[in-house]
Structure 1
Amino acid sequence: MSRRDVNDIRRKLLDQGVALLMEQGYHGTGLHELVQSVGVPKGSFYNYFPSKEAFSAEVVKHYIDPFIAQLDAHLARTDVGADAALRAYFDELIADTERRDFKGGCLLGNLIGEIGDTSDLCQTSLREAVRRYRDKLREGVARGQAEGCFRRDLDAKEMADFLVDAWQGSLLRMKIERSVRPLTQFRDMLLNGYFRA
């Protein structure tokens, strides 16, 4: 099998892992179901990942990358300020959760709640993913501070941490309320309120 084929199968397993872990959680997702859905023999799973735990840690990294790229694309825009770029980014996420009928939430938050304190490997992967995401948000907050639209009496890193924490809580509330209201309230109260200069 060529390196390209190996990478393709690995990517398919990770893509399917995101979908299954979002829908069923860590404990509800079996390797048999995973490999069957991708068309890979069960025994060959271990040619790609040493364990389910290691696989899940890789899924976390695979999951967060598109969100960071999406956020980066918004922040790279020079025709809008950082406040508008962050708002547009969160607007996209809010619209996506509504399209998905409020299902799923965030894989990071889901796994943090389910296995965050029981698997050192997954805990490390989750921590790294949250920090990478926070650091990208910090770029936007710092730019907003430099542009004069966000308050400067708070550290950009602390404000970005607060964004991550508040967003995760809002996603959990969205799931039980089955409404985007917690998400829009998060966006408006922070980006248009507490963070404003």
Structure 2
Amino acid sequence: MNKIHILSDTRATLLETGLKLFAEQGYNGTGIKEIVDAAGVPKGSFYNYFKSKEDFGAEVISHYAAGFAEKWSACLGEGPQQPLAALQYSYERIISYHEQCTVKSGCLLGNFAAEMSESSELCRLTLQQVVNGWHKRFSGYLRKAQADGSVRTDLSAEQLTDFFWNAWEGALLRMKIERSTAPVRACVNLMFNHFFLP
């Protein structure tokens, strides 16, 4: 039992270390040796958990998505009960998190999409699965907000969600370029206080 616990701890440490380094340096800018050195794990041990760097990259995407989903759930749970207000509150909390970070690394999903979608089918499919899960949850909230009259109905919840995702990811890229959260704040303000409204 203790051995299983140690194995899972080592795997989690590698994933957390990979997540940090990939966010700061990108996938191609980070080597396996750098990951295992930072994690304090022998290089040979890496292959006990992951078949390849590509497999590890896909696992990091899933690990990041699971962590984000957990934080998002917490934000939605502590925010207002109205669906649109709950979404806006959750994204304002996300922006507050970015403001506390000295390195404006943006969104790991967007970073991976730009860097790996053409070169790794495994990473592309993992990204697609994660984005689809986010999309379903976000559009579910918008659908409820349409039902209570707080969101426009001339476009479907899915169309509105697509547009928000595209705007948000673009704003995150600008955040990295400008090293400022002003673009994401402007995006959230425009979307929630204007674009979504009836």
TM-score range, shorter chain: over 0.9
Per the TM alignment, residue 91 of structure 1 is displaced from its structure 2 partner at its CA by 0.7
Could you report, residue by residue, the CA deviation over 1:82-105 in whole angstroms, capped at 9, with x for unpaired residues? Answer: 121111111111111111135100
Tell me if the contact between 2:14 and 2:36 (Cα under 8 Å) persists in the aligned partners: yes
Per the TM alignment, residue 77 of structure 1 is displaced from its structure 2 partner at its CA by 5.5
CA change 1:58–1:98 in 2 (3 A) is same
TM-score, normalised to structure 2, is 0.93
* Corresponding position of 2:37: 36
Which aligned segments of 4 or more residues in structure 1 are displaced greater than 2 angstroms?
69-80
Tell me if the contact between 2:58 and 2:123 (Cα under 8 Å) persists in the aligned partners: yes
Unaligned runs of 5+ in 1: none
* Corresponding position of 1:24: 25
* Farther off after superposition, 70-79 or 156-165: 70-79
Unaligned runs of 5+ in 2: none
Paired residues for 1:59-78 under 5 Å = 59-76=60-77
Q: Distance in 1 between matches of 2:138 and 2:60?
A: 21
* Corresponding position of 2:101: 100
Tell me if the contact between 1:70 and 1:89 (Cα under 8 Å) persists in the aligned partners: no
Matched, 1:120 2:108: no
Paired residues for 1:35-184 under 5 Å = 35-76=36-77, 79-101=80-102, 103-184=104-185
* Corresponding position of 2:190: 189
Identity %: 41
CA root-mean-square deviation? 1.6
Q: Distance in 1 between matches of 2:46 and 2:194?
A: 49
CA change 1:52–1:186 in 2 (3 A) is same
TM-score, normalised to structure 1, is 0.93
State the aligned residue count: 197
Q: Distance in 1 between matches of 2:196 and 2:50?
A: 43
Per the TM alignment, residue 175 of structure 1 is displaced from its structure 2 partner at its CA by 1.3
Tell me if the contact between 1:102 and 1:174 (Cα under 8 Å) persists in the aligned partners: no
Tell me if the contact between 1:87 and 1:187 (Cα under 8 Å) persists in the aligned partners: yes
* Farther off after superposition, 177-186 or 74-83: 74-83
Q: Distance in 2 between matches of 1:146 and 1:161?
A: 19
Q: Distance in 1 between matches of 2:99 and 2:27?
A: 24
